[in-house]
Structure 1
């Protein structure tokens, strides 16, 4: 495994000339890089790479530039020493290097390799390109990924792959820091188009089609979504009707709403597509199946019967050629049905190893879950980048002389600025640890280590729970980071607006977030009902009594009263209670279980109603069920964070991370305080203590904020944001030096307000 300290260039703080502050790491664990920001090895590592990955020789101009930079760094170093609060001697200190290794997870070496690739200029987005230029640049970058061996990990060994499913996703999601268009277009090619052939096809399809897909000889599209149907895949209207005389399938899009839409690679580059269509043979519709369909010739011209359109300029991801496809009597060989889960014999007889059409459909879709896995991880990565930019800038930017006649205050010292960013930082840590567990689960299922029906259902539920949370969180984080950076955050050079635009659609593709959470709520209801499916009369009676007692205890205020009596006159006792992991777990779990139990009780009559009335009843509970599913996902994140704390060997780091975990958990409670009060789970005094303790946690985390974002491991070549490069610290240092010189020379003008005050 490659160590986490290899292949690194300077962090934004090191680029700014920052010395290791007392709160960065204990002396015994401080990294050599931090102890010597200007060491020659690091300077070499920070040099720009050539296409071959080698640093060019230093010229005289380079040496002159380096000398100027050293002078700047000394100035910046003085400024950073003023802006970064030193932790008191008895405060814990974060071991940034060890925490960074933990965050890299099981596939650390692959992540480091992918970050090295993502840090190369030739792999990154270039502001100001036209849509056409951006598309061609991204296509060229895909070829570089092939040349660098970055895309074949998940494919079968028989065709040159490595069958490393977890490592494949880990490397793929890091590409978001280079250019989200690159990440998503590569995902279309190898994670959707190629993965569909791999998972839905059989050995003959692998041998015939995967080598050309892997090498990019055949760029392809994943043609599932239609203009008329997106989330409701089972109702797509494209048909594939079997002709036994010719032993061919005939593909048709019978009306405009059946056109395949929003497809990456469809507008320009795609030569083939995996097309999802209703399989009809012998007059029977056997539901949605997948077919390998060539769509263009070697010159890029549509084949007979196939047409399409360019989706044009989008709100983001304009390096991807999204487009539409339609089919009129397009014939393909019978053997181009991807027949792992359903096949048609020469005479038209249909067969499947899965008898139930519904189960067959969901099994087929379940094999394509990796898209949701990778979006979860890439959204977390984007959140890390945004916070590293915003917190770095906030630690250097100064505004208002609130506490001094001469020195302006650092933005990150303002409580409101901390309140804006630190809860997002805590959620990002929770999402990162949850994603690592998610990725391990995915790898176990797809490697066959743990691949039962229950394992696959658990994985699909996990994907449906976490992908919505992380993608919504990424948008919230990017927007808050943009606002926290003021006008500078709105400049394209600082990347926040571009990332926000590109990640916008992450909440929609691979499953609309609200639809995915409905899948989670369905699973929660199913699990709830299973508890009573085999229960005897005594067990049911006990449950009824327990529910009645629960309602009496909470609904009549007895629990709230008990808390008030216990905590009477002492906010400290309220806070001490809330700090306990068991209490946080109980509060988060209780909310999920109560919401599901309440919804289940209200839905119980549905089995006796007409289809129309049952649908109306379910619709009346839809919002509550989605909220319960979201709360379930948040509980999973909290549990993952708590488990990750057990893996932290360094006690001071563990203490700081425990504060971060508490901020995440109690932040969820604070967000839903009304629910906890209405349902009698918290007394008013404890409810007040939640916000009070959060304010204390945020103040405690202030000295560690930069270490916590530095542990993400993204360096200047990944961030590529001027405001996170040390430039702001340089400007602040220049201004302070100017003001100091004026004061010392006696040439500084007297402020009018000072004169007026002296006359009073």
Structure 2
């Protein structure tokens, strides 16, 4: 058996104590979601919960010490992620208040702004919205239509929404509670557009009345997260003081002269957006926690619920003893573990950058790329896992009280906010292409020729099936031998890493002619290969998760625990290989013999891990107050025990009715003897 407590410590990661503190806090029912509330009731409850979180000091973890904070950025996000166990609406609304609105003031503003607003933001006395997204531009922030035009006569910026597509939309706190907004707009001064900057704009009185020139609409009922008052904002020539420009990266003097410590417009834009990367980091962790709750509920239920006998007249079989049930849930459990370990590495990097111990342009770029690689994978996995968990629990899984449908609905939006997942992966893909190109910057002809030869040899080698042929000879007739020879950790890494390298290399080769094409032709060529680039980025993210899991296995001291985690890591790696099996076959990376062995060995690993399934989900460390799902509370076990005891009692007293089927069999045997 695994050391459950030790594995729990591993999963909670670097800021495990903060996670435990957050979990202890949300045992209080005041933080729990109440199913069946109206939208208005849910919104008011969640606003009250945000104020309660502030009273518990949650909002101060990331604040600078001079403002009563702890300046602990990693702890801030670790604690925030655990709130999803109580109510995702509460989690995300607190994220809007402190992780977006408050963080924009803190990260993009200067001491003047911090002195004015940080205390009221931290206490939730000043609720605010983060007004970046526009209905017409979504993820394309650089092209937003809202303008902030400087008027030197009054030393004010005029914030304006010039057309309907420039309305800010989907903003938490915008429909009801927000009194101010951090508004992203095109900064125009002296007739020059200096690109997107952020402005602090009051929008309502403390009594809830809209200020002159501010328009607001309620987004209404959504597919989930209905405890958040999402809405739209527009501005009809709203004037704010010059000093309301959050001017850490760009400023305007009284006479209208623009200045910035970052000369490049593009670099300045990405630096400002990079300062807000914590949203993506948070979602990666929160999605992982939510998925683990779904796995705890579904696997605990599967370990207790019985259905059908074995066909040999035995007791009904526990769901988790069925091979298909193991196949449905255990690979997703392996994936969830991989996400936990990868996320902790991401969180450590985030804390280093935002805490100042490793805040360099290179580290910031690496952080942005890593967050953009992992957030898509974990948020997609959360939806997939929660849906499979729901189905695996049958009708019970569809009941709101068992939480799976509510979690699935609330997490749906995670895949598109803080950056649409495919857009984020394209960002990662472009970084991979850039790194690939750097290998040859300044290379001489001999180096380039040598690379070209190796590439050609590699393509011929794989394309001709020479490696496949060698595998087939070595593996002939033995699944166990296939695994032993080619599916252990080293080979898993080779297959996963080799896939990334070849995919990036292939896309780079396909795009090489772009430098000699017109802008329109180059864009068309890129568009032709966009899907391949995104898939390469996804493969890169999967590799990162596998490597993080492998590092965790290596650092496990207890031998029994290390063995079980090795099987779980292998299950994750082989499931990734199985998912992309067609690619590995087409590119000659696997023989058909070894490819067939992948799926067979996954089945064997599932059976091997089945006795450890409950321990592996118990290691998440969820208390009953975190789970709050009757089917995972032990109630199902009591029902099953009661039913079995009932039939056992009938049999013991000799009063159990005889089945018609057994009577017929008895009659048939008698007639045969006659």
Q: Which residue of structure 2 lines up, in the alignment, with residue 47 of structure 1? A: none
Deviation at 1:448, TM superposition (A): 1.1
Task: Please give the root-mean-square deviation of Cα atoms over the aligned residues, in Å.
Answer: 0.8
Structure 1 unaligned blocks of 5 or more: 1-92
Q: 2:435 aligns with which of 521, 527, 546?
A: 527
Q: Which residue of structure 2 lines up, in the alignment, with residue 753 of structure 1? A: 661
* SS of the residue 1:532 aligns to: coil
In structure 1, distance between residues paired with 2:357 and 2:84: 29
In structure 2, distance between residues paired with 1:399 and 1:297: 59
In structure 2, distance between residues paired with 1:341 and 1:758: 89
* SS of the residue 1:242 aligns to: strand
Quick check: 2:475–2:485 contact (8 Å CA) kept in 1? Answer: no
In structure 2, distance between residues paired with 1:272 and 1:266: 9
Q: Deviations over 1:391-431 (max 9, x none)?
A: 00000000001154141000000000000000000000000
Q: Which residue of structure 2 lines up, in the alignment, with residue 104 of structure 1? A: 12
Q: Which residue of structure 2 lines up, in the alignment, with residue 512 of structure 1? A: 420
Q: Which residue of structure 2 lines up, in the alignment, with residue 493 of structure 1? A: 401
Deviation at 1:139, TM superposition (A): 0.6
Deviation at 1:735, TM superposition (A): 0.5
Q: Deviations over 1:128-176 (max 9, x none)?
A: 1100000000011111111111111101111111110000000000000
In structure 1, distance between residues paired with 2:115 and 2:311: 71
In structure 1, distance between residues paired with 2:162 and 2:453: 58
Quick check: 2:133–2:169 contact (8 Å CA) kept in 1? Answer: yes
Q: Which residue of structure 1 lines up, in the alignment, with residue 226 of structure 2? A: 318
Change (3 A) 1:150 1:404: farther
Q: Which residue of structure 1 lines up, in the alignment, with residue 554 of structure 2? A: 646
Corresponding position: 1:390 with 2:298? yes
Q: 1:547 aligns with which of 432, 449, 455?
A: 455
Q: Which residue of structure 2 lines up, in the alignment, with residue 292 of structure 1? A: 200
Corresponding position: 1:445 with 2:353? yes
In structure 2, distance between residues paired with 1:236 and 1:202: 24
Change (3 A) 1:579 1:559: closer
Q: Which residue of structure 1 lines up, in the alignment, with residue 619 of structure 2? A: 711
Quick check: 2:492–2:574 contact (8 Å CA) kept in 1? Answer: yes
TM-score (norm 1): 0.87
Q: 1:240 aligns with which of 132, 145, 148?
A: 148
Q: Which residue of structure 2 lines up, in the alignment, with residue 302 of structure 1? A: 210
Q: 2:128 aligns with which of 217, 220, 226?
A: 220
In structure 1, distance between residues paired with 2:27 and 2:412: 23
Q: 2:165 aligns with which of 254, 257, 261?
A: 257
In structure 1, distance between residues paired with 2:324 and 2:600: 14
Q: Deviations over 1:220-240 (max 9, x none)?
A: 000000111110000000000
Q: 1:632 aligns with which of 540, 546, 556?
A: 540
In structure 1, distance between residues paired with 2:441 and 2:600: 44
Q: Which residue of structure 2 lines up, in the alignment, with residue 333 of structure 1? A: 241
In structure 1, distance between residues paired with 2:257 and 2:383: 49
In structure 1, distance between residues paired with 2:479 and 2:635: 44
* SS of the residue 2:92 aligns to: helix
Quick check: 2:129–2:173 contact (8 Å CA) kept in 1? Answer: yes
Corresponding position: 1:572 with 2:480? yes
Corresponding position: 1:115 with 2:4? no
Quick check: 1:281–1:350 contact (8 Å CA) kept in 2? Answer: yes
Q: Deviations over 1:166-198 (max 9, x none)?
A: 000000000000000000000000000000000
In structure 1, distance between residues paired with 2:504 and 2:269: 27
In structure 1, distance between residues paired with 2:666 and 2:581: 50
Q: 2:179 aligns with which of 271, 282, 289?
A: 271
Q: Deviations over 1:557-592 (max 9, x none)?
A: 111011112222333221112342111111000111
Q: 2:372 aligns with which of 442, 450, 464?
A: 464
Q: 1:352 aligns with which of 250, 260, 272?
A: 260
Q: Which residue of structure 2 lines up, in the alignment, with residue 200 of structure 1? A: 108
Quick check: 2:467–2:589 contact (8 Å CA) kept in 1? Answer: yes
Q: Which residue of structure 2 lines up, in the alignment, with residue 603 of structure 1? A: 511
In structure 2, distance between residues paired with 1:578 and 1:339: 56
In structure 1, distance between residues paired with 2:582 and 2:488: 21
TM-score (norm 2): 0.98
Corresponding position: 1:186 with 2:94? yes
Quick check: 1:403–1:409 contact (8 Å CA) kept in 2? Answer: no
* SS of the residue 2:201 aligns to: strand
In structure 2, distance between residues paired with 1:176 and 1:409: 33
In structure 2, distance between residues paired with 1:154 and 1:479: 34
In structure 1, distance between residues paired with 2:207 and 2:356: 41
In structure 2, distance between residues paired with 1:611 and 1:552: 33
Q: Deviations over 1:90-114 (max 9, x none)?
A: xxx1110111111111111110010
Moved segments of 4+, more than 6 Å: none
Q: Deviations over 1:257-278 (max 9, x none)?
A: 1111110000000000000000
In structure 1, distance between residues paired with 2:226 and 2:63: 28
Quick check: 1:578–1:690 contact (8 Å CA) kept in 2? Answer: no
Q: Which residue of structure 1 lines up, in the alignment, with residue 638 of structure 2? A: 730
Quick check: 1:276–1:288 contact (8 Å CA) kept in 2? Answer: yes
Q: 2:321 aligns with which of 390, 401, 413?
A: 413
Q: 2:581 aligns with which of 665, 668, 673?
A: 673
Q: Which residue of structure 1 lines up, in the alignment, with residue 671 of structure 2? A: none
Deviation at 1:679, TM superposition (A): 0.4
Aligned residues: 668
Deviation at 1:620, TM superposition (A): 0.6
In structure 1, distance between residues paired with 2:511 and 2:219: 42
Deviation at 1:433, TM superposition (A): 0.3
Quick check: 1:278–1:285 contact (8 Å CA) kept in 2? Answer: yes
Q: Which residue of structure 2 lines up, in the alignment, with residue 162 of structure 1? A: 70
In structure 1, distance between residues paired with 2:205 and 2:389: 46
Q: Which residue of structure 2 lines up, in the alignment, with residue 88 of structure 1? A: none
Q: Deviations over 1:482-508 (max 9, x none)?
A: 000000000000000000000000001
